[in-house]
């Protein structure tokens, strides 16, 4: 898959995307992964294999299309990689499903950008398990 371009990848069908190995996804440039129009086809394992650079390259539409299951596959560094624009696209349900370990990846500017509804979605478990952001 390494030789594919950002204009070719959107032609993939959901079944083709689902068949990609995590090693194939991990090495992809952000521009190629950002061109995917079917991010919902990724498994949680595949999403978990994306680099922070690839996460930063996801379009707003791709971020909005992430499912709760896919978000569960993220680690703290990946959560931080969404930046302000990406993290503010998360629904309150998506915020509530994140673990305290994932939330450690949020930095102050991301936390300050969250809406009141998003902040209200944090569970007591998330808050008690989180550490102050850098």
Rounded to an integer, the average pLDDT of 81-88 is: 94
Contacts of 38 (CB under 8 A, 6+ apart): 12, 13, 14, 17
Burial class from Cβ neighbours inside 10 Å (0-12, 13-18, 19+) for residue 48 reads middle
Predicted confidence band at 50 (pLDDT cuts at 50, 70, 90)?
A: confident
Report the pLDDT value the prediction gives residue 53, as an integer from 0 to 100. Answer: 83
**Alpha carbon of residue 118 to chain centroid:** 16
**pLDDT beyond 80 at 28:** no
Which stretches within 1-123 are classed as H helix? 14-18, 22-26, 30-34, 44-48, 52-57, 60-65, 68-72, 76-81, 83-87, 92-97, 100-103, 108-113, 116-120
Q: Is the pLDDT of residue 76 over 70?
A: yes
18-22, 25-29, 115-119, 127-131: segment of lowest average pLDDT = 25-29
């Amino acid at each position: 898959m390494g030789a594919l371009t950002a204009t070719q990848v959107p032609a993939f069908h959901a079944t083709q995307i689902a068949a990609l190995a995590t090693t194939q996804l991990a090495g992809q440039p952000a521009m190629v992964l950002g061109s995917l129009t079917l991010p919902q086809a990724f498994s949680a394992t595949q999403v978990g294999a994306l680099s922070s650079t690839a996460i930063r390259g996801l379009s707003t539409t791709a971020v909005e299309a992430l499912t709760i299951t896919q978000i569960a596959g993220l680690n703290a560094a990946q959560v931080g990689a969404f930046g302000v624009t990406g993290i503010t696209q998360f629904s309150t349900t998506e915020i509530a499903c994140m673990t305290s370990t994932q939330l450690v990846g949020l930095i102050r500017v991301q936390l300050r950008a969250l809406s009141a509804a998003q902040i209200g979605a944090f569970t007591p478990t998330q808050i008690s398990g989180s550490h102050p952001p850098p």
